[in-house]
Amino acid sequence: MKLFPGDQVETVKGMKDPYHYRHKVYASFYQDRYHRIHAGLYEENSHRHIDSSACLIQHVKANQILKTICTVADQMRLSAYNEDRNTGVLRHAYIRVSYASGDVLLVVVIGSRELPGSKHFVSEITKAHPEIRAIVLNYNHEQTSMILGKRDKVLFGRGYITDRIGDITFRISSRSFYQVNPRQTEVLYKTALDLADIREGETVLDACCGIGTISLLAAGRAEHVTGVEISSEAIRDAKNNAVNNGIENVSFYARDITEFLKKNNRAFDVVILDPPRSGMGEDAMKAIRNMMPDRIVYVSCNPVTQAEDLRTLKDIYNIQKIIPVDMFPFTKHIETVCLLTHTN
């Protein structure tokens, strides 16, 4: 098997209108020399802030909310968190916009013990943006590059919003993994499921299933789908999503995928892989190889680690097709969906 043979790679599936596609937005707060608060991102390989409140790939509503937060913070004389001194209040904002409804989840990350005037802060933000359905306060006092800390407190709403892919509704909380580009997400998942070609009576393993997006979409085609994800919070959301959509032919397990595969005695007809950028790893790929599913669909946001993983299968699986999907226009990143079939 040649890895990523040119004649198997199809044309990239891109976007017609590649602007303001990011429905998931992170920003860090900082103050200028006049002590005015701004929301922005770090310049690559530096700690220099760049204002991102007018970013052309971030959702327009998210940009507007970031500006409002800065205005309200200045009015309330809230300070931005200084990671070198470990002082200040506002550290990060995380905004998620539902593609289906336009509802917004806002997570405010603070580096202080509490958010002074939190009730007034919530009142001003929600008055300016009634589409905000949930505001969560996250506490992060650690010297870390991680955005979210370990503790949350719901300040407004239910603490989550919902979105929809096809006929399936998904609950999105502050820690849910959910693709950043919803328009291309539908393209990506349809591509993966079309390549999987799930037939009546077949069983499916969805490795690294997150909140169950691919699992629940595949359930309409399969006899049974098993989703595995290391995050217990994601699996809780996946189970809730299955119940809320009335889908019963799915099972979800909060397990490390390698350990699950090593201890699992069941065979699956189709295996769908959608790992993080680091890939599946050699041990997991060997366990999948030993299981010998008929078809494997590997969805990857990092073709380099995808190629490394597929080397483990090269003597008993053939690459039939590779379809790139542009999930991140104006960046160097690409998602690739690869179909492999057993040589027998």
Residue 253's closest CA among 169, 286, 218, 263? 263
Q: How many CA atoms lie within 13 A of 166 on its CB side?
A: 16
Nearest to 175 by CA among 117, 248, 130, 238: 238
**Is residue 290 exposed (0-12), middle (13-18) or buried (19+ Cβ within 10 Å)?**
exposed
Q: How far apart are CA 331 and CA 81, in angstroms?
A: 29
Of 153, 162, 159, whose CA–CA distance to 118 is shortest? 153
Catalytic positions: 301
Provide the H-helix boundaries in the chain: 60-76, 118-128, 182-196, 213-219, 232-244, 257-263, 282-291, 303-310
| Residue indicated by tokens 């970031």 | 66
- Whole-number Å distance between alpha carbons of 175 and 206: 20
Coil/strand/helix, residue 125: helix
Burial-class residue 38 by CB neighbours within 10 Å (0-12, 13-18, 19+).
buried
Establish how many alpha carbons lie within 13 A of residue 270's alpha carbon, considering only the half-sphere containing its beta carbon.
28
